[in-house]
């Protein structure tokens, strides 16, 4: 170990996962070699299995009510999507292992950082708002195309076919006219939408409406800003409501999207943890796909060892499985289509989508133990990040191996000292390449684990669950069992069956453990950890 190298430990952790509402239930589930995946409820009847997080935000209401004004919980509950709620819940759990951690995070000011990211974000909120906007936009155009609201359209409808053709040419109207299309034609809806969107721009009544709306919205704030701003907002709301009633028009499409779309962008889980915990140091969202958790851990390591922070909240969070992600993974040819669990190293049929969160509180070991706090799990010894610069989803050999060697070098440990290695392993053909990579670095006797058959594949949080499972087991002298039997292992991998941890689990008598995640975009994140008595 380098003489002045700060030691980094975990001093709090919490999570939300499939089959586990909290860290304690998660640990209980680890002792049972079983899958937590369940049938997907989207699409109607289907064959997909997913990892639905076990969670009830109301469980955290007493804590939030104790530390904040009465309306805080309802604000979070109504405005935040699931990824924020999962992260907040996991953070509150993480405050419970060391008394005084919450106050310390506040007292440290800029020396307490928050690095909590996500994968593709709160897409269920984006989806709901997109659908709301689309429906509103169609109603809006349809209304202003009615002949009673559009003199130009009325003239067109009153014209004979020859005159209609002239009007279309003069105005540059899109072709064809939906009246000339069979409603059962696959293109009918697209033609109708383009037609109505065009003719709405020629509505004389819509122009009148917009003129009156411009006058309403154009009123400026005058006098005392603080005293008058509320009054002006209410005045405009009332005037808009009266205007819409006068024209009997539907809600404008620009009024159909909730501001919740803004309150659920990628940095909001970190920001809300900062607000809920009253942490005034920097908070931001590392986004590195499946490598997100270890990437956030690396940012914390850098901040602590550079002396910028003493304690960091790190982690990742993903919303529950949704039709969009299942469909996207399906199009990427990496998702299982059978209604049974697809396990790494078996049929290589594909992975399963999952959602939830994992939050750790990590910090300077000497500083925190000096305050009487006790570390959890293992010591963070080294982290390596690399990129393949090769393919958006298919890993190569050089990138992951470079990350492994970088982490080993920082930990100052030889490969033959690594007693167990947790793999990214998604139950796709990439498992074979990953196994070959690991076997090229680590000696015979290293025990390999792969747990996506138990938890599923959280887009960013998978590494957090897997790393926590490794730490929970090793800190009590075990490698927890994996939902895998020897006879299930793929024929090409049978030669290495004795290196794979199965449903029997294994005692752990060594000192060092490692883990890798390989994210979409070719981002590799590797972490080496060791028991606190390793030296």
Question: 42-86 pLDDT, tens per residue?
Answer: 999 999 999 999 999 999 999 999 999 999 999 999 999 999 999
Average pLDDT over residues 369-380: 98
Q: 535 exposed, middle or buried (CB, 10 Å; 0-12, 13-18, 19+)?
A: exposed
Token pair 């997909």 in the structure block, residue: 48
Q: Residue 445: is its pLDDT beyond 90?
A: no
**Paired sense of beta strands 311-318 and 356-364, if any:** antiparallel
Q: Residue 302: is its pLDDT beyond 50?
A: yes
Please tell me the predicted confidence (pLDDT) of residue 274.
98
Q: Residue 3: is its pLDDT beyond 70?
A: no
The DSSP element (H or E) to which 470 belongs, if any, is: helix 462-474
Q: Residue 535: is its pLDDT beyond 80?
A: no
User: Quick check: 384 and 410 in contact, CB under 8 A?
Assistant: yes
| C-beta neighbour count of 208 within 10 angstroms | 12
For every residue of 424-440, which 3-state class applies, written as one string? CCCCCCHHHHHHHHHHH
Give the pLDDT confidence of 184-228 residue by residue, as tens digits.
999 999 999 999 999 999 999 999 999 999 999 999 988 888 888
CA distance 472 to 429: 29
Where would I find the beta strands (DSSP E) of 119-168? none
Query: Is the pTM higher than 0.75?
Result: yes
Q: Residue 113: is its pLDDT beyond 50?
A: yes
Please tell me the predicted confidence (pLDDT) of residue 228.
85
Q: Among residues of the chain, what percentage have pLDDT more than 90?
A: 93
| Banded model confidence at residue 4, pLDDT cuts 50, 70, 90 | low
| Topology of the domain covering 8-122+265-530 | Peroxisomal Thiolase; Chain A, domain 1 (3.40.47)
Between helix 188-200 and helix 123-145 the angle, nearest 10°, is: 60
Dihedral over Cα of 362, 364, 367, 373: its sign: positive
Dihedral over Cα of 293, 467, 20, 98: its sign: negative
Give the pLDDT confidence of 177-194 residue by residue, as tens digits.
999 999 999 999 999 999
Q: Residue 531: is its pLDDT beyond 50?
A: yes
Q: Residue 513: is its pLDDT beyond 60?
A: yes
Q: Which residues contact 378 (CB under 8 A, 6 or more apart)?
A: 10, 470, 471, 474, 475, 513, 529, 530, 531, 532
In the chain, list all ranges with CATH 3.40.47.10: 8-122+265-530
| C-beta neighbour count of 78 within 10 angstroms | 9
Q: Which residue has the higher pLDDT, 445 or 374?
A: 374
Q: What angle do CA 351, 387, 346 make, to 5 degrees?
A: 25
Q: 343 exposed, middle or buried (CB, 10 Å; 0-12, 13-18, 19+)?
A: buried
CA distance 495 to 515: 22
Please tell me the predicted confidence (pLDDT) of residue 1.
42
Q: What angle do CA 28, 29, 35 make, to 5 degrees?
A: 175
Chain-wide mean pLDDT for the chain? 95
């Amino acid at each position: 170990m380098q003489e002045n190298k700060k030691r980094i430990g975990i001093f709090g952790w919490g999570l939300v996962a499939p089959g586990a509402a909290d860290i304690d239930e998660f640990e209980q589930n680890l002792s049972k070699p079983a899958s937590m995946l369940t049938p997907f409820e989207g699409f109607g009847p289907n064959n997909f299995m997913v990892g639905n997080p076990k969670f009830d935000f109301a469980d955290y209401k007493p804590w939030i009510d104790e530390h904040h004004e009465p309306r805080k919980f309802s604000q979070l509950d109504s405005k935040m999507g699931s990824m924020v709620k999962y992260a907040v819940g996991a953070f509150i759990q993480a405050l419970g292992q060391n008394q005084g951690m919450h106050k310390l995070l506040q007292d440290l000011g800029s020396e307490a950082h928050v690095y909590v990211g996500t994968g593709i974000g709160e897409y269920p909120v984006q989806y709901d708002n997109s659908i709301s906007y689309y429906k509103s936009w169609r109603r809006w155009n349809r209304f202003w195309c009615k002949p009673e609201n559009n003199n130009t359209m009325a003239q067109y409808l009153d014209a004979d076919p020859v005159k209609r053709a002239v009007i279309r040419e003069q105005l540059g109207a899109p072709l064809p006219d939906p009246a000339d299309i069979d409603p059962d034609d696959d293109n009918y809806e697209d033609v109708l939408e383009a037609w109505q969107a065009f003719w709405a721009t020629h509505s004389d009544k819509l122009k009148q409406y917009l003129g009156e709306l411009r006058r309403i919205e154009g009123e400026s704030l005058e006098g005392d800003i603080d005293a008058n701003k509320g009054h002006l907002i209410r005045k405009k709301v009332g005037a808009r409501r009266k205007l819409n009633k006068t024209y009997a028009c539907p809600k404008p499409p620009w009024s159909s999207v909730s501001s919740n779309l803004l309150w659920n962008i990628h940095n909001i889980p970190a920001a809300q943890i900062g607000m809920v915990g009253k942490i005034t140091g920097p908070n931001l969202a590392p986004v590195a796909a499946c490598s997100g958790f270890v990437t956030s851990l690396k940012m914390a390591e850098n901040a602590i060892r550079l002396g910028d922070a003493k304690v960091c909240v790190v982690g990742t969070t993903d919303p529950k499985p949704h039709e969009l992600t299942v469909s996207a993974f399906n199009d990427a040819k990496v998702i299982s289509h059978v209604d049974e669990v697809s396990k790494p190293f078996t049929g290589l049929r594909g992975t399963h989508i999952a959602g939830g969160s994992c939050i750790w509180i990590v910090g300077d070991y000497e500083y925190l133990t000096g305050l009487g706090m006790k570390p959890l799990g293992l010591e963070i010894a080294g982290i390596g990040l690399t990129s393949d610069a090769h393919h958006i989803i298919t890993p190569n050999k050089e990138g992951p191996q470079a990350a492994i060697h970088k982490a080993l070098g920082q930990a100052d440990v030889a490969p033959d000292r690594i007693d167990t290695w947790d793999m990214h392993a998604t139950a796709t053909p990439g498992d074979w390449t990953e196994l070959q990579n690991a076997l090229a670095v680590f000696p015979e006797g290293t025990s390999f684990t792969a747990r996506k058959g138990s938890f599923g594949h959280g887009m960013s949080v998978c590494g957090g669950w897997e790393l926590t499972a490794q730490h929970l087991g090793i800190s009590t002298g075990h490698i927890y069992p994996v939902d895998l039997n020897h006879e299930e292992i793929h024929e090409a991998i049978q030669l290495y069956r004795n290196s794979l941890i199965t449903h029997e689990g294994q005692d752990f008598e060594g000192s060092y453990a490692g883990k890798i995640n390989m994210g979409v975009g070719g981002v590799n994140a590797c972490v080496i950890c060791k028991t606190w008595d390793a030296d």
